[in-house]
Homo-oligomer: A and B are copies of this chain.
Amino acid sequence: MTEPSRLRSRPTMDDVAAMAGVSRGTVSRVLNGGHNVSRQALAAVERAISKTGYVVNQHARSLVTQRSGSVAFILSEPQDKLFEDPNFNNLLRGCTQVLAEHDITLLLTMAATAQDRQRIGRWVTAGHVDGALLVSNHLGSPLIAELRERGLPFVVCGRPLGQERDVTYVASDDRDGARQMTGYLRSTGRRRIAIITGPLDTPGGVDRLAGYREIVGAGDPDLVATGDYTQASGEAAMTRLLSQAPDLDAVFVCSDLMAAGAITALQRAGRRVPEDVAVGGFDDNRIATTTTPLLTTIRQPWARQSAEMVRLLLAHIDGAEHAAVILPTELVVRDSA
């Protein structure tokens, strides 16, 4: 039997203190900013730290500070979608970066099943994280209630349908974005404007549909199809629309990824984009500039979104009240409409 490596016990503050010829207290002060420590004590401690290879024991520290120095990024979405959708990418990158500036680590966890959710609920409450960023919550997601009950600070990305009261969230103005796009399509002379929505139990699903309806009115049900934000679903939905309403001359697709799929379907059906059918997307992520033609879309401010989420979370951890932030969206005109 070899000695398990984790038992080869790491140096503690006392070891460092002894080597530096100072007390534990002084070492602690050095570790926490070095205030009120003399020049030579500081130097001695730093030398001892690098000689011993000392690293603070986070569990001991957290036990007393009641802070872990990490926050969770909780995704409640089947993994496939996560990995296909560039928006998550943008959001994750943004949050990681902003948090790193505060020296806080972001931990990504996935809650695909009810069992996962339970494990994560216990996990976050056990003190592993100081707060959580909740992404991709469908209507009635039990995670919100669970976290609230457990008293963990959290911020939701997107409007938490039916649970807006007393939760902090950051959303982009989906409804207005949809209005802008639909209005733009109409302003270019299109009259049979279809829509491919996201899942109707997500804010991006219902709010963008609502914005669209504000412009076109109740409209023709044959002009409405629903996807699940994946490229394949966009393609399928477009095919469906084409058979339901062959005379459509524009389509507002509620995500760029689905729009890419829709363009594929249109072209396969022999329709020219934008001559025969104008296509508008939503998101303005990487994929919008790789389609042929380039996608006219609504820009979501991902960087601001991440920054706001982190800001609100940190504020919330420090005891701030609940807040909701709605970020403006912007029409980006390219070639597809």
- Which residues of A are interface residues toward B (Cβ below 8 A)? 1-8, 10, 53, 55-60, 62-63, 66-68, 70, 79-80, 83, 86, 88-89, 92-93, 96, 100, 103, 105-110, 115-116, 119-120, 122-123, 125-128, 130, 149-153, 232, 286, 290, 316-321
Contact = CB atoms under 8 A, between A and B. Distances in A.
Contacts of A86: 83
How many copies are assembled? 2
Given A57-B63, A58-B128, A105-B119, A4 B317 contact: yes
Given A107-B107, A128-B70, A319-B5, A79 B55 contact: no
B58 A317 contact: no
A80 B70 contact: no
B119 A3 contact: no
24 contacts: A2-B321, A4-B317, A6-B130, A6-B153, A8-B151, A10-B125, A53-B149, A53-B150, A57-B126, A58-B127, A58-B128, A59-B60, A59-B63, A59-B68, A60-B63, A63-B63, A79-B89, A83-B83, A96-B110, A105-B109, A105-B119, A105-B123, A105-B128, A107-B108
A62 to B, nearest CB: 4
A125 B59 CA distance: 11
Contacts of A151: 5-6, 8, 10
Residue among A3, A55, A130 with max Cβ neighbours from chain B (10 Å)? A55
A152 B6 CA distance: 7
A319 B4 contact: yes
Contacts of A290: 232
Residue among A2, A57, A59, A80 with max Cβ neighbours from chain B (10 Å)? A59
Contacts of A318: 4
A57 B60 CA distance: 12
A28 to B, nearest CB: 15
Contacts of A59: 58-60, 62-63, 68, 127
Nearest to A121: B55
Contacts of A88: 83
B127 A57 contact: yes
Contacts of A105: 109, 119-120, 123, 128
A92 B79 contact: yes
Nearest to A8: B151
Nearest to A56: B126
A81 to B, nearest CB: 10
Contacts of A5: 151-153, 316-317, 319
A10 B107 CA distance: 23
Given A105-B109, A153-B6, A89 B96 contact: no
A102 to B, nearest CB: 12
A98 to B, nearest CB: 14
A295 to B, nearest CB: 16
Contacts of A232: 290
